[in-house]
């Protein structure tokens, strides 16, 4: 009974804030995104229904629901405005051909575009309300120069009023492409973002309401450029002209971004990231700052510098919980198949999964893993990756320390 009351009153509180989304038709949502300085953080509840490894988010104006991508499990979840799960789809087992999903964009009538990072492609499909998937199709040509592993299409935006996909390429090169929906042809709008702006890694790209001449991208690295950037599209070029960092700096790894109009008539911005972080912002309708002009300052403009003296391969799960960042590296598997920690490389010696542990320790909580280390004479304040590798040797060797 108490749980039911709590659930009821949480929904009432959200409704009073205007957080519930307003149903509308794609391409006729009745808004474009105001200046990023107009937004204020209103909710930090985790999106736990997405389970883990959030890499993309899209608001579907026809259903009034969010559609979230779990990269690690290759799943898509349909969530209501309170992040309660309505349905889920396992992309790999349902035969979509996608093994590494990243970004997602609504196209209307429950049709969605989803990026596959390896290979770098956009696929479209219908995510039916009954949990099935239909009408799967490859919707883009491949890149002229194939992307490296984990450096392909990271995010996608669908601009209905121009029948175009805008796609973000994560790295090598850091680039923005457009895809003609009718012909599947890929046109590079810019592939010099690293040289031009110093950007090293991109996350999401999303539309600006009904606009066709701008998108927003999430820059993940380096830390001085981390944040949300507005980009203007002019012909076959894309240039940045506005930025917000602020609360994005506090996220472990921002990945997904979407905007929508609430039942109160105000515009909302939702940012998600690994594991299940969510940050909801509301725009002040009285804000008069001109869109496209950066007016924020301080840490709202630039994230605080990261302490580069922290050894990358020694970050523990406790460090990650405190927000210590992965510096110029990718994240590899940690204490389970979706948890991630920072390492220097993707070498198996530093990225073993829990399955590498002895059977009796594979399901053990982290405190028990550390206790086992101490009992075997291994220092307890090691990185999680080192701890797992150390424990994988227990029972198979008499060595009591790690080489």
Separation between Cα atoms, residue 171 and residue 194, nearest integer Å: 9
Q: DSSP label at 16?
A: H
Q: Where in the chain do CATH 2.120.10 domains reside?
A: 22-300
Order of strands, edge to edge, in the sheet holding 267-274? 39-43, 277-283, 267-274, 253-261
- 128 touches 176 (CB < 8 A): no
The structural architecture, per CATH, of the domain 22-300 is 6 Propeller (2.120)
- 76 touches 46 (CB < 8 A): no
Closest of 95, 96, 97, 115 to residue 105, by C-alpha? 115
**Per-position b or e across 212-228, b if 16+ CB within 10 A of its CB:** bebbbbbbbbbbebbbb
Q: DSSP label at 303?
A: P
Q: DSSP string of 51-62?
A: -S-EEEEEEETT
pTM here is: 0.75
Reported as type and span, the H/E element at residue 366 is helix 366-375
Separation between Cα atoms, residue 29 and residue 171, nearest integer Å: 32
Kindly compute the dihedral angle of the four CA atoms of residues 121, 207, 105, 186, in this order, to the nearest 10 degrees.
Answer: -20
pLDDT of residue 343: 43
pLDDT of residue 25: 84
Mapped onto helix, strand or coil, the DSSP state of residue 347 is: coil
- 216 touches 33 (CB < 8 A): yes
In tens digits, the chain (403 residues) has pLDDT values of 443 444 444 444 444 444 566 667 888 899 999 999 999 999 999 999 999 889 999 999 999 999 999 998 999 999 999 999 999 999 998 989 898 899 999 999 999 999 988 788 999 999 999 999 999 999 998 876 666 566 789 999 999 999 999 999 998 889 999 999 999 999 999 999 999 999 999 999 999 999 999 999 999 999 899 999 999 999 999 999 999 999 999 898 899 999 999 999 999 999 999 889 999 999 999 999 999 999 999 999 999 886 655 444 444 555 555 655 544 344 444 444 444 444 434 443 333 333 333 444 444 444 454 455 445 444 433 333 334 344 433 333 322 222 2
Pairing of strands 111-116, 101-108: antiparallel
295 burial type by CB count under 10 A (0-12 exposed, 13-18 middle, 19+ buried) = middle
Number of residues assigned to the chain: 403
Separation between Cα atoms, residue 379 and residue 264, nearest integer Å: 55
pLDDT of residue 117: 84
Handedness of CA 344, 246, 233, 116 (dihedral sign): positive
Q: DSSP strand E in 160-207: where? A: 164-169, 175-180, 186-190, 201-207
């Amino acid at each position: 009974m108490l749980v039911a009351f709590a659930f009821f009153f949480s929904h009432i509180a959200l409704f009073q804030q205007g957080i519930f989304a307003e149903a509308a038709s794609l391409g006729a949502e009745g808004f474009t995104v105001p200046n990023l300085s107009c937004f204020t953080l209103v909710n930090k509840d985790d999106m736990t229904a997405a389970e883990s490894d959030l890499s993309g988010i899209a608001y579907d104006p026809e259903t009034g629901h969010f559609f979230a991508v779990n990269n690690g499990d290759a799943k898509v979840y349909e969530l209501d405005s309170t992040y309660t799960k309505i349905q889920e789809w396992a992309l790999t087992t349902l035969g979509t051909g996608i093994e590494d999903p990243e970004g997602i964009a609504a196209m209307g009538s429950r049709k969605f575009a989803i990026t596959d990072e390896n290979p770098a492609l956009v696929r479209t499909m219908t995510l039916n309300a009954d949990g099935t998937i239909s009408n799967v199709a490859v919707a883009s040509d491949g890149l002229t120069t194939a992307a490296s592993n984990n450096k392909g299409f990271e995010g996608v935006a669908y601009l209905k009023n121009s029948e175009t996909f805008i796609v973000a390429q994560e790295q090598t090169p850091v680039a923005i492409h457009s895809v003609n929906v009718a012909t599947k042809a890929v046109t590079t709008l810019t592939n010099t973002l690293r040289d031009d702006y110093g950007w090293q890694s991109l996350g999401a790209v999303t539309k600006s309401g009904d606009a066709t001449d701008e998108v927003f991208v999430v820059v993940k690295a380096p830390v001085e450029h981390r944040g949300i950037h507005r980009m203007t599209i002019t012909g076959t070029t894309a240039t940045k002209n506005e930025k917000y960092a602020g609360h994005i700096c506090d996220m472990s790894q921002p990945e997904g971004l979407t905007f929508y109009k609430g039942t109160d008539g105000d515009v909302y911005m939702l940012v998600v990231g690994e594991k299940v972080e969510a940050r909801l912002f509301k725009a002040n309708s009285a804000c008069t700052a001109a869109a496209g002009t950066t007016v924020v300052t301080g840490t709202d403009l630039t994230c605080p510098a990261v302490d580069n003296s922290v050894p990358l391969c020694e970050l523990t799960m406790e460090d990650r919980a405190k927000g210590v960042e992965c510096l110029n590296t990718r994240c590899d598997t940690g204490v389970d198949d979706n948890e991630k920690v920072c390492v220097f490389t993707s070498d198996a010696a530093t990225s073993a999964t829990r399955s590498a542990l002895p059977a009796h320790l594979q399901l053990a909580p982290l405190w028990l893993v550390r206790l086992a280390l101490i009992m075997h004479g291994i220092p307890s304040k090691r990185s999680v990756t080192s701890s797992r590798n150390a424990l994988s040797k227990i029972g198979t060797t008499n060595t009591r320390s790690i080489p």
